[in-house]
Chains A and B, each alone.
Chain A
Amino acid sequence: MSSELEISFILNGQARSLIVAPSAVALSVLRDDFDLTAAKKACGEGECGACTIIVDGASVCSCILYAADLDGRNVQTVEGLDAGDTLDPVQAAFIETGAVQCGYCTPGMVMQIKHLLAENPDPDEAAIRRGLEGNICRCTGYSKIIDAVKSAAITMRAG
């Protein structure tokens, strides 16, 4: 009996397959097997949000998601936003508003906000704060990140 599983999923728009151990977590697979190191391991127990990715439209902590559960899913990481000639509005807003300091929480924050704005294109202040609650930032005090969400929301609504 094999102790390994074959999984197939869409990763940043491309179909991918690989063999994983049943105990492997999604974050390790992304980082070690696909060299996608933007998502960070900062707590390993789903408490800080630095590993946030989007799976089938939902933001999840990839450090507590079994890689096996990626099978058949659509997975997006920050690297998937690094495609066109222009920055994604959330990323552009992060730079412009000063929402980046050390940057370690940033990829997770960006993905959480992508999810937040997809669900609610016009969030009020309280909704933004609630939406960021699971993502810890130790540098910025969140104010500039909240500014970035507001600014990105305006840009995205303007289309």
Chain B
Amino acid sequence: MSKDPAAAAVPAKNGMKRRSRVMVLFTLPVVLLYSAFFMVPMLLGVYYSLTNWTGIAKTYKFIGLKNYSTVLQDKRFWNAIFFNFKYTICLVIGVLVLSLLIALALNQLGKSSTVFRTIYFIPAVLSLVTVGLIWNELFLRAFPPVGKALGIGFLSTSLLGNPATAMFGILIVNLWQGCATPTVLFVAGLQSVPKDLYEAATIDGANAWQKFKNITIPFLIPIVTMLVITTTKGGLTIFDYIQAMTAGGPAQATEAIGILIYRHAMSEGKFAQSIAESMLLFVIVAIVSFGTIKLTNNKQVGED
């Protein structure tokens, strides 16, 4: 607490040293945990994917890239990838359209929308497994009698029991739960648009659609970008719903890549091969996320 700067200089220098040592200590727990339980398993995975380990056998050999070529020739793998892409495209479009519509409607009502906001957000806090199991029962027991009574063909049996419709069953559940957070984001985005912009546009004689297209949409683009990325990642790595509802069936119609990896590793003894699959999944997710960021960034520039 010396007031003389010269006398304070020496302890201050010591203090700086101690301070920087403490700062390094601050980072250590996270760095160590992350290295030991994220990086090491990841690198082990890369190594295992180059061997022929079954996961149970005591010995295994290094076989190079053979697992990868096996995977790339495996029909089941491509079937899973195709499912994931189909599903992800439907999911992204569904989430964006539905949550934007809900947000626009909520925004129309202004303050009287509080009750609706509370209700629409409930699904976001629930476990995917519980939600999946409840809808499973609904598809099985609640809808078929209604479908039969109304004579709607596709509803008279469980959506999940038919290979042609099973994906849409899962999609419905995912949308029921997955629109909650995007809706809140869109509402916040809509409220961030300055009111005087709309007023100025009205004076200039713009109609509702023109105002929406030229004022609202540009303000929402950053939110759309982010939602496309997060939803894409969610769609490509979908697991919980499928494991709880169809376990990949019927007839591998909903066997997503996550399910395939889990099955190959846990019940089919194709341990090393399943890791090769997961490494390919990583590459796909990375490329797709990167591509989406690039694409949507360009669009934003074009809009401006």
The finding on whether chains A and B are genuine partners in a shared complex, rather than unrelated, reads no
Which residues of chain A have a CB within 8 Å of any CB of chain B? none
